[in-house]
């Protein structure tokens, strides 16, 4: 089922999950151990992340070779395995880095043949070690361009003119940033780019993680005022350790409220700190539910216990 249809048909609170493929050389069973206990909450869909490879240079026999090394391969395979095992819809992340628009088209055709109906279209971060995003030759620079390409394929228009071309049936999700994307000069400019993605064919938005209800509420209100009418799913991350108080703002360019920080710092043990973090995020979810969100999307980061603890409190 397409994500947009799942949102429309949901009668109860819709839960969805985001997972990270296991590192190269690890077993998929480790990922199944994360997902298994979460299936009791009937996730409407599971999205699977994808990242650019790290490029390294190695010298062999006097010649220098450029070698891409992907830490977490197999996103499409993970999607197929998860769908087969759990009978749940999966949403592969599709990025710009590493693909020309022609390679993008070929990959989308393969996904279409596999019966995957959902795509999460994001620009993606620069590869590890790089500070700025550089598009591939003949590749897209902005996520809105990828959205437009997917939308065109849904209309039966490919990069070359084809007779009797069959349209694809992708439901397109995109990312939204309640505290703005870190590369945008201001929130208004970031909202402008988000509207471009919607205008070019995006069906729904999932937000970057946030930790204050008013941040999401204000974001939705400003998006609606800008003419963005598609569903906006809040992205939620259970926070469990003191180390995350510094790593999450650094890595995801977000703000943590004093209430959350103080409750975790004042805890006497790591277990109590974890409990305080989960309790805070539970309260945040309850505020979102009262606000009437179309669902809650949980970033598991490849770890299932924190998500399980959060959901067990929400669905007592």
Catalytic residues, by residue number, are: 18
Q: 315: how many CB neighbours lie within 10 A of its CB?
A: 11
Asked if residues 133 and 127 have their Cβ atoms less than 8 Å apart, the reply is no
- Angstrom distance (rounded) from CA 284 to CA 279: 9
């Amino acid at each position: 089922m397409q994500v947009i249809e799942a949102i429309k048909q949901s009668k109860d609170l819709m839960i969805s999950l985001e997972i990270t493929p296991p590192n190269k050389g690890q077993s998929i069973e480790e990922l199944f151990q994360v997902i298994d206990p979460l299936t009791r909450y009937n996730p409407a869909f599971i999205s699977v992340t994808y990242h650019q490879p790290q490029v390294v240079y190695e010298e062999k026999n006097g010649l220098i070779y450029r070698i891409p090394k992907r830490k977490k391969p197999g996103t499409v395979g993970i999607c197929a395995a998860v769908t087969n095992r759990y009978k749940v819809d999966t949403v592969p992340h599709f990025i710009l880095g590493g693909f020309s628009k022609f390679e993008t088209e070929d990959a989308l055709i393969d996904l279409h043949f596999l019966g995957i109906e959902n795509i999460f279209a994001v620009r993606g971060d620069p590869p590890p070690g790089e500070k700025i995003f550089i598009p591939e030759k003949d590749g897209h620079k902005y996520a809105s361009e990828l959205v437009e390409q997917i939308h065109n394929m849904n209309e039966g228009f490919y990069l070359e003119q084809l007779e009797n071309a069959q349209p694809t049936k992708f439901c397109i999700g995109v990312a939204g940033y309640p505290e703005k994307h870190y590369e945008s000069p201001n929130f208004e400019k970031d909202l402008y780019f988000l509207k471009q993605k919607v205008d070019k064919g995006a069906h729904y938005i999932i937000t970057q993680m946030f930790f204050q209800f008013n941040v999401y509420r204000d974001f939705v209100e400003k998006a609606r005022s800008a003419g963005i009418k598609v569903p906006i799913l809040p992205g939620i991350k259970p926070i469990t350790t003191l180390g995350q108080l510094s790593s999450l703002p650094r890595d995801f360019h977000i703000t943590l409220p004093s209430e959350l920080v103080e409750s975790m710092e004042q805890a006497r043990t790591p277990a109590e700190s974890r409990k305080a973090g989960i309790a805070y995020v539970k309260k945040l979810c309850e505020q979102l539910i009262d606000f009437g969100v179309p669902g809650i999307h949980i970033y598991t980061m490849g770890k299932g216990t924190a998500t399980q603890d959060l959901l067990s409190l929400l669905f007592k």
